[in-house]
Structure 1
Amino acid sequence: MQFASLLPDVITLAEAASKKVLEIYRTDFNVEFKADNSPITAADMAAHHMIVDGLRQLSHDIPILSEESASAPWAERKHWYRFWLVDPIDGTKEFTGRTGEFTVNIALIEHGIPVLGVVTAPALGEVYWGAKGEGAFKRDKAGRVHRLNVVVPPSIKRVVASKSHLNKETEDFIETLGEHRLVKAGSSLKFCKIAEGQADIYPRLGPTCEWDTGAAHAILSAAGGKVETLDRKPLRYGKEEVLNPHFVASGKWY
């Protein structure tokens, strides 16, 4: 399958969902809580429905796993060698806290590997995308398109960390890296910081799900980076357990 040919339509779809998300972001929206106590808003559901409906029109034969409809049983999912992986809003805490650092995420997974990804940051006016063999790109808020490549790190390593989930285990890991500078970012933008050469490593020793990482993982990989578990194996997708193991995302170092 020539998955890169899908990119323009996926970007358009992500941007349409982002526009709707931004409309709700600018209102006095309500915040509710799911069974796991994570927040959800009307923006999550609006983006979910727009993206799922759009992907079904784009590729009716490819199944979809979204955070807001993650009920497909393993007996069904284990046969998915290719599927769409969607996080309608990654960083709902950033959304409800109005920091602007939330994202809309769409990935295509093939045989456990993210081969295409689109990440939009609606409040920042930024769009990232990438595909296996095609490279990674960013369109900034001025409309300029930049090709993304990870960089050889400077002498003081730039460690990107979560603004909402920086736990003791992650802090201890960071201390083992030696002299460093902390770069804080929200949602899947942490991967994108590495892809565009603004950070070098992102250790995540806390819970994430596949939809939290898939799209940005694809972009980072297309920019020359990697995402590995703590035992240096590639982070894989389409598992029975949708929770990710602890991982480290990095550019040309680690």
Structure 2
Amino acid sequence: MDTLQTIIGTPVEDILAIARSLGWGAAKILRSYYRGEPWQNTAQAEVEGQDKKDGPVTAADLAVNRYILDKLHTTFGDAFGYLSEETYKAKSAAIANEWVWILDPLDGTRDFIDKTGEYAFHLALTHLGRPVLTVVACPELDKLYYATLGGGAFVETPDGMSKRIHVSDRSHPQDLTVVVSRTHRDDRFNALLKQLPCQNQLFVGSVGGKIAAIVDQRADVYISLSGKSAPKDWDMAAPELILTEAGGAFTHADGSPLRYNTGDVNQWGCLIASNGTYHRELCDTANQILAELG
């Protein structure tokens, strides 16, 4: 599939309009919970932190999850498969549908709870395991990023104005800025960062926020290295297409593409996202460093 024109017989512009509307709706819900303000008929929208196996979940997470899945099911019914962080249950089989919506209602839960403002909403439509239409909303930036396969990447503001976005053209390693998390960094990952040729760092929470920093040209590189756990499909699918359609690159360190809805939602190994100018060299360097670290 080179350029997306239609999806199950529907013009891509129509489905993109729905996805963008859902992104802004999700942003409104997240923002209301973030500020502790009532939303719809909710008298008390206080964030309710809970613990579960994969980390904290908030009332906002679940509210957005319900909102998005209800809207998608009402609009599309069974035409698509649905993979959501909050409804996923471990299983060995992939969803048996060529077209699958992958949803992360709240990317950056820790940043949401810690009030850094660096949280995001992800929605990706994938075809045969690859993203073809995606939305990332960053509520506290008042920005919604979106992309379609072959159609470019754009950023939209609440007034409905959109503009095309492109990554930086910085290419010298010493000029590249790596966007990193304040948390989720083990010793092996810190050792990798210290040995990279690019030493400028920008701290941003959530994967969506990190990729937004690259397409906004505030940063140039993002690296994910799994340890005891790994990022999931819903962390990567939506940001990936926005970055690549903005001219960047997003691959495993061996250069292979990411695959989604494979039956294992974990994205194991070393993943590298960049503005693309130094991508192959960066992958080679990371592989060499990791081999030496053992």
Greater mean alpha carbon deviation, residues 116-125 or residues 45-54: 116-125
Residues 72 and 178 of structure 1: CA distance in aligned 2, closer, same or farther (over 3 Å):
closer
Native 8 Å contact 2:251 2:273 kept in 1 = yes
Greater mean alpha carbon deviation, residues 26-35 or residues 181-190: 26-35
- Over aligned residue pairs, what C-alpha RMSD do you find? 1.9
Q: Corresponding residue for 2:50?
A: 32
Identify the match of residue 92 of structure 1 among 109, 127, 138: 109
Does residue 28 of structure 2 align to residue 10 of structure 1? no
String of CA shifts for 1:68-110, please: whole Å, max 9, x gaps: 00027444x3532220000000001011111111011100111
Cα distance between partner residues in 2 of 1:110 and 1:40: 28
Q: Corresponding residue for 2:162?
A: 145
Residues 144 and 173 of structure 1: CA distance in aligned 2, closer, same or farther (over 3 Å):
farther
Native 8 Å contact 1:194 1:250 kept in 2 = yes
- What's the secondary structure of 2:97's corresponding residue? coil
**Stretches of structure 1 lacking an aligned partner (at least 5 in a row):** none
Indicate the structure (1 or 2) with the bigger Cα radius of gyration: 2
Q: Corresponding residue for 2:213?
A: 193
Cα distance between partner residues in 1 of 2:196 and 2:99: 36
One-letter amino acid matched to 1:18: A
Native 8 Å contact 1:150 1:197 kept in 2 = yes
Q: Corresponding residue for 2:285?
A: none
String of CA shifts for 1:40-93, please: whole Å, max 9, x gaps: 111000000001111112322101100000027444x35322200000000010
Q: How does 1:1-254 map to 2 (within 5 A)?
A: 2-3=6-7, 4-5=12-13, 6-27=15-36, 28-36=46-54, 38-60=55-77, 61-71=79-89, 73-75=91-93, 77-140=94-157, 144-153=161-170, 155=172, 156-187=175-206, 188-206=208-226, 207-245=230-268, 246-252=270-276, 253-254=278-279
**Stretches of structure 2 lacking an aligned partner (at least 5 in a row):** 37-45, 280-294
| TM-score, reference length from structure 1 | 0.92
Native 8 Å contact 1:66 1:85 kept in 2 = yes
Cα distance between partner residues in 2 of 1:70 and 1:130: 25
How far the C-alpha of 1:143 sits from its partner, in A, is 5.9
Cα distance between partner residues in 1 of 2:187 and 2:141: 30
Native 8 Å contact 1:135 1:147 kept in 2 = yes
User: What is the aligned-residue identity percentage?
Assistant: 32
Native 8 Å contact 1:91 1:103 kept in 2 = yes
Residues 72 and 168 of structure 1: CA distance in aligned 2, closer, same or farther (over 3 Å):
closer
How far the C-alpha of 1:212 sits from its partner, in A, is 0.9
Cα distance between partner residues in 1 of 2:6 and 2:199: 40
